[in-house]
Chain A
């Protein structure tokens, strides 16, 4: 289909930000390799957040390849920062390849659906599988449905992310922002909101809710709702006060206490 190369300003913002995040990633990865098992947590977190931000935005824009690759890289980095995997030369080499391909996909964004990156994704995912304990290997690729209390809603998240959140004793929330009223009209962008959330937790999933058309009953409403499944140590009393925008609604999905034994069963 003939798609015009018209500027989609929001997508351009995301692509530009992602390029900036990726610009200096190599030195950080090489530094991680140097540090070996004695990881510099701030450094690893920084690299993790780069992959995590890129993943979040790609989900928002339905950029399937970018999202999948970024998610796999993020998962491997999560294992490193939880000290379940040491950033050896072999590990870092694979991560460097992953980030390099990610940069390429971002730069060629409009075609990002096309190149076959299955092999690279499998290689990066292999890092995770190799370093998860036997009982948890099934988590790296599985999805889980989680019920949202007080609603009929169920959210679909990665089993690995869910397990990490539960094991770290984090609370999991479903946060709803009205992109128009809460974000755009205050001169902000969704990325500023994401970046802020990422400072204090992990974005597990985002869903764009099309309430902008309202329902069959009322007149068309001028809303566009973004729902974020968010894992964080921040307690329910404080959750509404994070960051650049106030969510319209916050629902607590789960409250967890740190436990090394928590393992979930994923759907295949």
Chain B
């Protein structure tokens, strides 16, 4: 369900068919913490098959950004649906880390 691909200090997380919402956040948080501890500094979260992100999901992404930023790394979110992209813009998330949509465009 949460597919991870890894190459050196880069990793791509793909929560496929799952949503970044309260019930899934603890598992995702643990996984993100684990890979950051293992040395990943360039983390991409691929939302290609994610339909919903709620406030706890947003909080998780921000936490991940903060952790990575402190270590000189970065978080990027890609393939967000139009609805999720609009949500991120409304919550001003895009001012702080990169969020792009299905076409790779903002």
Contacts and interface: CB of A to CB of B under 8 A. Distances in A.
In the complex, A touching B (Cβ < 8 A): yes
Interface of A: 1, 3, 62, 152, 208-217, 220
A215 B90 contact: no
Interface of B: 29, 32-33, 36, 58-60, 62-67, 70, 72, 86, 90, 92, 95-96
A214 B92 contact: no
Contacts of A3: 90
Given A62-B92, A62-B95, A217-B33, A210 B62 contact: yes
B41 to A, nearest CB: 11
B67 A215 contact: yes
12 contacts: A62-B92, A152-B72, A208-B92, A208-B95, A208-B96, A212-B62, A213-B58, A213-B59, A213-B63, A214-B66, A216-B32, A216-B36
Nearest to B64: A216
B66 A211 contact: yes
A154 to B, nearest CB: 10
B67 A220 contact: no
Contact of B63 (A62, A152, A208, A214): A214
Given A1-B86, A3-B90, A210-B96, A215 B63 contact: yes
B62 A213 contact: yes
Given A210-B65, A211-B66, A213-B62, 11 more contacts: A62-B92, A62-B95, A209-B96, A210-B96, A212-B62, A214-B66, A215-B67, A216-B29, A216-B33, A216-B67, A217-B67
Contact of A210 (B29, B36, B66, B90): B66
Nearest to B58: A213
A62 B89 CA distance: 10
Contacts of B66: 210-211, 213-216
Contacts of B60: 213
Contacts of B59: 213, 220
Contacts of B63: 213-216, 220
A2 B29 CA distance: 31
Contacts of B70: 215
